[in-house]
Amino acid sequence: MKEPMNGDELLALFEALANPHRLRIISILTNGRQYVSQLAREAEMSRPLLYMHLQKLEKAGMVKTEMEVSEDGKAMKYYELEPFDFHITQDFIKEAVKTLTIKKKEGKE
């Protein structure tokens, strides 16, 4: 995964990592790509809930998906990790904040 380039990407990364279910999914996928049903069983969650978490991870650029067709013609969706290595410093955050598109609501901090 590329290093986050702007504030919005940095927020998506932090949001993706700030959930124990998504951390578990990342942990499972470190063993290699998995078919979505297999991943749901291993993560012990429903497929709809799994998809919600996978969308957050995809938005952050941490996982990718690939569709394949099995020998019997069934469409199979696989997920795997994108390689990543984060080094976040206060200067990086200072620069990223300048690019945020999410505006602070008036009267709130």
The CB-side HSE value for 72 (13 A sphere, CA atoms) comes to 2
CA gap 19, 48 in Å, rounded: 16
What percent of the chain lies above the pLDDT cut of 70?
89
Label residue 103 by pLDDT band (50, 70, 90): low
Burial class (CB in 10 A: 0-12, 13-18, 19+), 60: buried
pLDDT of residue 102: 74
State pLDDT tens for residues 27-74.
999 999 999 999 999 999 999 999 999 999 999 999 999 999 988 988
Residue 106 lies in a domain: no
Q: How confident is the model at residue 86 (pLDDT cuts 50, 70, 90)?
A: confident
Residue 69 within any structural domain of the chain: yes
Does some domain include residue 27? Answer: yes
Domain holding 59, by residue range, is: 7-94
Q: How many domains does the chain have?
A: 1
Q: DSSP secondary-structure letter at 18?
A: S
CATH code, domain carrying 18: 1.10.10.10
